[in-house]
């Protein structure tokens, strides 16, 4: 078997990798009957020379590989027919902007497995960047708020930025005395609360957060999904029921929003689930929110002020709560500033790649290289030789444009 790590082709660029140089070298040593190679790239956090230094073969042409691993969506023209690809495709929720990608993968007779659906028997993800997204989401959001207020700036991460650097900066920064709401209780939210604790922020109780008394230091409250929604018929919240029947619930978010200065969104959202923030809610409910770090980045999803994704080069834009239109970042104190970078972990590309590679090694590479059947891989496989698999047959009408 021949496996290749492909060059990232999506714009804006992503510096992460599926395996670090040391991880590739170790797998090649453990499974010498197979070979993992790397397609040459000038944008990775790890350079071609970093891979060569570990004895890894680097080449431009990877057309002889059987399985190809990337991070973000590959450009349609780069897809090689009859191959097996792994990356984050953003098609399973019927994201319209990636319909052409799905159509091309079908036409090119590809087998395709999506990292987002590498889950165990309990539907818990086993390979994800979520924790890193939460950490970076906090950093970017605080940086944006300080820019908005004209205060001391947090430095913008570069390609080699590390978690250790970020921790040092957060631990010594002069941060605002405001209330932050973090939503969700999964890996993304865990990363966000980690970031807040690195800031020496005070974690509030429900009663403290809902109080009208001002805080005397940076403070936060984490609201889990059972606090954010309620059943329409008044019955108690049930997590399994909410997962299976999200349309039976309505939002209970506004009561929190009325006490929130900065909102960091880390919750999973299903298109059938309630909307937390409508565009008109800011004026109608006189919300004090001035900064939203939408780490989930569901465009016009549960937070309707998130009207487009942002980039690492330009992480922020303003949302005008009266016109419901985008304006230049920090252009008016009456606007809400939005941070909506949809690839937050890329700001810590070295650390995040190492973590992700460890998970992929355990749940994907070892089963593949040992020739073992893997239910985890099966559950993530959307296409099998140009045909939608049973779990994803619902995408047929979407693929055909119906």
Mean pLDDT of the chain: 96
DSSP secondary structure letters along 240-309: HHHHH-GGGEEE--HHHHTT-SEEEE-----TTSPPSB-TTHHHHTT----EEEESS--TTSSBTT--S-
Q: State whether 14 and 158 are in the same domain.
A: no
Q: What's phi and psi for 317, nearest 5 deg?
A: -150, 160
Q: State whether 187 and 221 are in the same domain.
A: yes
Q: State whether 189 and 284 are in the same domain.
A: yes
Give CA–CA dist 100/105, Å, rounded.
9
- Of the three residues 340, 359, 389, the one that is the final residue of a domain is 340
Give CA–CA dist 364/371, Å, rounded.
11
Q: State whether 203 and 249 are in the same domain.
A: yes
What are the pLDDT digits (tens) for 373-383? 999 999 999 99
- Of the three residues 302, 318, 340, the one that is the final residue of a domain is 340
Query: In this structure, what token pair is assigned to residue 301?
Result: 């999803």
Q: State whether 270 and 336 are in the same domain.
A: yes
Q: State whether 119 and 141 are in the same domain.
A: no
What are the pLDDT digits (tens) for 196-206? 999 999 999 99
Give CA–CA dist 12/6, Å, rounded.
16
Sorting pLDDT into bands at 50, 70 and 90, what band is 93? confident
Give CA–CA dist 35/20, Å, rounded.
15
- From 142, 241, 124, 237, select the one nearest 187 (Cα to Cα): 124
- From 280, 173, 262, 285, select the one nearest 215 (Cα to Cα): 262
Please say whether the dihedral angle defined by the alpha carbons of residues 230, 233, 237 and 242, taken in this order, is positive or negative.
negative
Q: Which residues contact 177 (CB under 8 A, 6 or more apart)?
A: 214, 215, 216, 217, 218, 219
> Biggest alpha carbon distance in the chain?
66
Query: In this structure, what token pair is assigned to residue 22?
Result: 């040391």
Sorting pLDDT into bands at 50, 70 and 90, what band is 55? very high
**Residue 324 exposure: Cα atoms within 13 Å on the Cβ side:** 10
Q: How would you classify the pairing of strands 326-327 and 316-319?
A: antiparallel
Q: State whether 319 and 367 are in the same domain.
A: no
What are the pLDDT digits (tens) for 9-20? 988 889 999 999
Predicted confidence at residue 153, as pLDDT, reads 84
Q: State whether 200 and 222 are in the same domain.
A: yes
Q: Domain residues for 30?
A: 2-127+349-399
Query: In this structure, what token pair is assigned to residue 305?
Result: 């002020």
Q: State whether 234 and 381 are in the same domain.
A: no
Q: State whether 234 and 323 are in the same domain.
A: yes
The CATH number covering residue 88 comes to: 3.40.50.720
| Number of domains within the chain | 2
Query: In this structure, what token pair is assigned to residue 396?
Result: 């047929």
Sorting pLDDT into bands at 50, 70 and 90, what band is 402? confident
- Cβ(40)–Cβ(48) below 8 Å: yes
Q: How would you classify the pairing of strands 179-183 and 219-223?
A: parallel
- Of the three residues 340, 361, 386, the one that is the final residue of a domain is 340
- From 259, 168, 273, select the one nearest 215 (Cα to Cα): 259
Q: State whether 92 and 231 are in the same domain.
A: no
Please give the C-alpha separations between residue 162 and each of 15, 345, 346, 351, 388, in angstroms, as whole numbers: 13, 11, 11, 6, 39
Q: State whether 387 and 252 are in the same domain.
A: no
What are the pLDDT digits (tens) for 35-53? 999 999 999 999 999 999 9
């Amino acid at each position: 078997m021949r496996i290749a790590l492909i060059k990232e082709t999506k714009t804006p660029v992503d510096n992460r990798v599926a395996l670090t140089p040391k991880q590739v070298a170790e797998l090649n040593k453990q499974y010498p009957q197979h070979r993992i190679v790397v397609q040459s790239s000038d944008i990775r956090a790890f350079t071609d020379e970093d891979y060569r230094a570990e004895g890894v073969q680097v080449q431009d042409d990877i057309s002889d590989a059987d399985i190809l691993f990337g991070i973000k969506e590959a450009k349609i023209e780069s897809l090689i027919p009859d191959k097996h690809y792994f990356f984050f495709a953003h098609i399973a929720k019927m994201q319209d902007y990636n319909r052409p990608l799905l159509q091309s993968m079908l036409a090119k007779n590809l087998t395709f497995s999506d990292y987002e659906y590498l889950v165990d028997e309990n539907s818990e993800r086993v390979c994800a960047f979520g924790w890193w997204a939460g950490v970076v989401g906090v950093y970017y959001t605080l940086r944006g708020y300080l820019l908005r207020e004209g205060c001391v700036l947090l430095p913008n991460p570069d390609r080699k930025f590390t978690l250790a650097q970020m921790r040092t900066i957060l631990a010594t920064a002069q941060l605002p005395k405001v209330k932050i709401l973090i939503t969700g209780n999964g890996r993304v939210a865990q990363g966000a609360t980690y970031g807040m604790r690195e800031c020496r922020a005070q974690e509030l109780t429900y009663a403290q957060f809902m109080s009208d008394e001002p805080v005397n230091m940076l403070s936060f409250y984490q609201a889990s999904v059972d606090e954010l929604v309620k059943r329409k018929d008044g019955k108690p919240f049930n997590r399994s029921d909410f997962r299976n029947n999200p349309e039976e619930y309505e939002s209970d978010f506004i009561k929190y929003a009325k006490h929130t200065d900065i909102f960091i969104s880390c919750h999973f959202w299903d298109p059938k689930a309630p909307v937390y923030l409508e565009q008109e809610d800011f004026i109608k409910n006189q919300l004090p929110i001035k900064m939203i770090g939408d780490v989930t980045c569901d465009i016009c999803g549960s937070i309707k002020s998130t009207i487009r994704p942002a980039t690492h080069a330009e992480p922020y834009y303003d949302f005008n709560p009266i016109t419901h239109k985008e304006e230049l970042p920090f252009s008016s104190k009456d606007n809400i500033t939005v941070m909506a970078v949809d690839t937050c972990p890329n700001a810590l590309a070295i650390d995040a790649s190492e973590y992700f590679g460890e998970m992929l090694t355990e749940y994907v590479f070892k089963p593949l290289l040992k020739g073992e059947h893997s239910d985890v891989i099966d559950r993530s496989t959307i296409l099998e030789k140009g045909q939608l698999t049973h779990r994803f047959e619902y995408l047929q009408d979407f693929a055909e444009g119906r």
